[in-house]
Amino acid sequence: MKLPISKRLLLCAELVPPCGTVADVGTDHGYLGIHLLQSGRCRHVIAADLREKPLQSAISNAAAYGIKAFPLGGRCPSAHTGADEGCPDDSRPPIGMSFVQSDGLQNIEPGSFEVLVLAGMGGDLIARILGDAPWLDGGDYTLILQPQSAANELRRWLGERGWSIERERLVRDGRFLYSVLAVRPGQGRALSPGEQYVSPALRREEDPLYPEYLDRMKRALELTVQGISQSADPADARRAEYYRAALAELRGLSQ
């Protein structure tokens, strides 16, 4: 039975480095975690969702694809006899999935994973979830982030936090272009208005979809500037200045 996983989630999985445990927050149907285990990218997935219904869907899907379920925080006993194929003779996490209902990372222990995936939600919500877990700053984590909207706001937040966008890739899924960011806490810097729309990491990647993405960002900014410039609100005037600066930078990238 073929896993019905989307192209954007496949790209998220591609950017996950080989590791022990991945936390998939906002797991929904659980397909990303199932794919990561099937491909051998990781040993264990913590699948979390705010709502009970999608979490139950993830549990059912994992069972349907033969993925073993373990209690959250469960590990293979060091004296294991080998009866359970999911557990080796060591204390590594078991091969399978754990499930938890959680608002962001609220019910997930610091240090219980190496890679965090936040996909399929707005960039402002991703920033809120990360901001609510200040312990991420001091850890050796890789973050795979796939914003559905407000990607510029997420990049701005990451820069202000001092987190580094190590890679950024693009994928076409249906008629939409999505960006997927691989981020590491620390060693980052504040981004200019234009960099908040097109990051230096994306420019380095030489992604074949980059020219189309750049054109889309410029067109969106042109429409925003055109609309907001007609406002008499002083606050809108300040916002227009930001958008004009971003647009000027992006136009410069095309030259």
Q: Report in angstroms the alpha-carbon separations of 52 from 55, 59, 77, 160, 231.
A: 5, 10, 30, 34, 44
**Are 219 and 250 contacting, i.e. CB atoms less than 8 angstroms apart?**
no
CB atoms within 10 A of CB 116: 25
Q: What is the pLDDT of residues 201-231, one digit of tens each?
A: 999 999 999 999 999 999 999 999 999 888 8
CATH fold for domain 7-191: Rossmann fold (3.40.50)
Q: Where are the domains of the chain?
A: 7-191
Distance CA 51, CA 101 (A): 7
In which band, very low, low, confident or very high, does the pLDDT at 83 lie, cut at 50, 70 and 90? very low
- Note the pLDDT of residue 77: 42
**Are 245 and 225 contacting, i.e. CB atoms less than 8 angstroms apart?**
no
**Are 46 and 100 contacting, i.e. CB atoms less than 8 angstroms apart?**
yes
- Note the pLDDT of residue 236: 82
- Note the pLDDT of residue 235: 80
Q: What is the pLDDT of residues 142-159, one digit of tens each?
A: 999 999 999 999 999 999
> pTM for the whole thing?
0.92
